[in-house]
Amino acid sequence: MKLYSLCLLIIMFYNIVSSVLSPNMRRRTDITLFNVNIIAYFFYLFNNFYSFFVRQGVNIFCISQRRKSGRERVSAMLKTNGVKIKGVGRYAPEIVATNDDYAKIVETNDEWITQRTGIKTRHISNGEPTYYLGAMAAKEAIANAGISAEEIGLILASTCTPDYYTPSTACLVQRELGVSGCPAIDINCACSGFVYAVDMAKRYLAEGDIKYVLVVAAEELSKFVDYTDRSTCILFGDAAAAVVLEKEEDTLFASYTAADGMGAPYLAARALLTTNPFRQTESEFDMNMPEPNKHFLLQDGKEVYKFATKALPKAVEEACKKADISPEELDAIIPHQANIRIIETAAKHLKVPMDKMVLNISDYGNTSSASIPGAFYDGVNSGRIKRGDKVCFVGFGGGLTYGAVVIEY
């Protein structure tokens, strides 16, 4: 604009001079004036082009640098506030039910179950309650961590199959460990429960007044499986797994948790009905939920499959985005062990090979929230997962809930 202003001043000067000159001189002046106008207009266009494109380019570069710097700050923050898995444990009942065993009680066979689910066997409780399964896994995790139970500052128990409405499973695990004093909390997010619990544990550890958190995932699904329904009974097993977490600086951690309550009817097990001597109506309140036979689990397999094949990869991608890494950079993904076809579909969506997935579904079936830490336990003990590996836990389940945690083992 400064160049254009200068040219305008020159034009004004020529106009003044031309007014006192002869006609011939004025004509030459007009020609010169025309040329000056052309030059001025050229400088005007050039200056505007420079202002828009060059300055915008500088702004875009600066914004890009600020965003890059922001990502670096986020990554550094996540590493500063990470957690370390100090110990792992697992417990499964001794009874093992094969596909052939199920063929004796419902109309099915080994080939049908294997092709559709990837499951060959599952462990079934011989009367051991949920809290006992969890306590046994917790004892191994504590021993593996090299600490005492008294050092645990918080117990988080993930279960959708508690032995009591109250006391909580976490309190019963605490009693079995022979300790008291620390908070003990239950989490019911069905098959996503372990992921939610690890996310919650990290937040407690970030406060700094707790040194160790015990996360226990214990499930006795045989308690609410309808063994006359071949579409569900073949899927589930009983097991528990546990981890001891501690705060660790300069380590990777990112989490993503979400839920979609609109999908609540697709996976449900009814609690107690409303019965009291003062009730005046006989009809049940319309909760827009399925009415199962007694307390048995009901599942809309098609809807759950559609949800899971989208939720699983989305959760991995969102957690990886927060960690500033790609799914391809992960050393291992430990998905909820629900169905092999769901896992295969998710792997294709994420563009990762199946050997990146840590699986034990063929041996344990679907153990709800215990499936992810159980598969992690197998991965660690087999040497598949090593210290320093970037690992992603990802789950989906009733609620509908889903989520993922990216952590450095």
Known catalytic membership, residue 336: yes
Q: Strands 184-187 and 152-158: what pairing?
A: parallel
Q: Which of the residues 99, 144, 360, 366 is marked catalytic? A: 366
pLDDT tens-digit series, residues 27-47: 444 545 445 455 544 555 555
From the number of C-beta atoms within 10 Å of its C-beta (0-12, 13-18, 19+), residue 369 rates as buried
pLDDT tens-digit series, residues 116-134: 999 999 999 999 999 999 9
Q: Which of the residues 191, 233, 320, 392 is marked catalytic? A: 191
Lowest mean pLDDT among 61-65, 156-160, 247-251, 336-340: 61-65
24 Rama sector, left if φ>0, alpha if ψ -120 to 50, beta otherwise: alpha
3 or 163, greater pLDDT: 163
pLDDT averaged over every residue in the chain: 86
Residue 68 has pLDDT above 90, yes or no: no
Residue 319 has pLDDT above 80, yes or no: yes
Lowest mean pLDDT among 174-183, 248-257, 331-340: 248-257
- Token pair 């992921």 is found at 195
- Token pair 């169905």 is found at 339
When pLDDT is averaged across residues 13-19 and rounded to a whole number, the result is 52
**Strand-by-strand arrangement of the 82-91 sheet:** 82-91, 238-248, 212-220, 152-158, 184-187
pLDDT value, residue 70: 39
pLDDT value, residue 286: 85
Known catalytic membership, residue 182: no
Task: Count the Cβ atoms, other than its own, within 10 Å of residue 147.
Answer: 18
Please tell me the number of Cα atoms within 13 Å of 296 on its side-chain side: 14
pLDDT value, residue 4: 47
When pLDDT is averaged across residues 88-93 and rounded to a whole number, the result is 98
When pLDDT is averaged across residues 258-267 and rounded to a whole number, the result is 95
Q: Check: pTM over 0.75? Answer yes or no.
A: yes
Percent of the chain with pLDDT over 90: 71
Confidence band for 82, pLDDT divided at 50, 70 and 90: confident
pLDDT value, residue 34: 47
263 alpha-carbon distance from chain centroid: 18
Question: Is there a contact between 358 and 375 (Cβ–Cβ < 8 Å)?
Answer: yes
Known catalytic membership, residue 349: no
When pLDDT is averaged across residues 210-218 and rounded to a whole number, the result is 97
Task: Count the Cβ atoms, other than its own, within 10 Å of residue 19.
Answer: 9
Q: How far apart are CA 6 and CA 225, in angstroms?
A: 88
pLDDT tens-digit series, residues 263-303: 999 999 888 888 889 989 888 888 888 876 678 999 999 99
In order, the DSSP letters of 287-356 are -SS---STT-EEE-HHHHHHHHHHHHHHHHHHHHHHHT--GGG-SEEEE--S-HHHHHHHHHHHT--GGG
Residue 381 has pLDDT above 50, yes or no: yes
When pLDDT is averaged across residues 87-102 and rounded to a whole number, the result is 98
pLDDT value, residue 45: 52
pLDDT value, residue 121: 98
- Token pair 């066997």 is found at 121
Which residues are paired to 299 by β-bridges?
267
When pLDDT is averaged across residues 331-346 and rounded to a whole number, the result is 97
Q: Which of the residues 144, 336, 339, 360 is marked catalytic? A: 336
Reported as type and span, the H/E element at residue 186 is strand 184-187
11 or 110, greater pLDDT: 110
pLDDT value, residue 7: 52
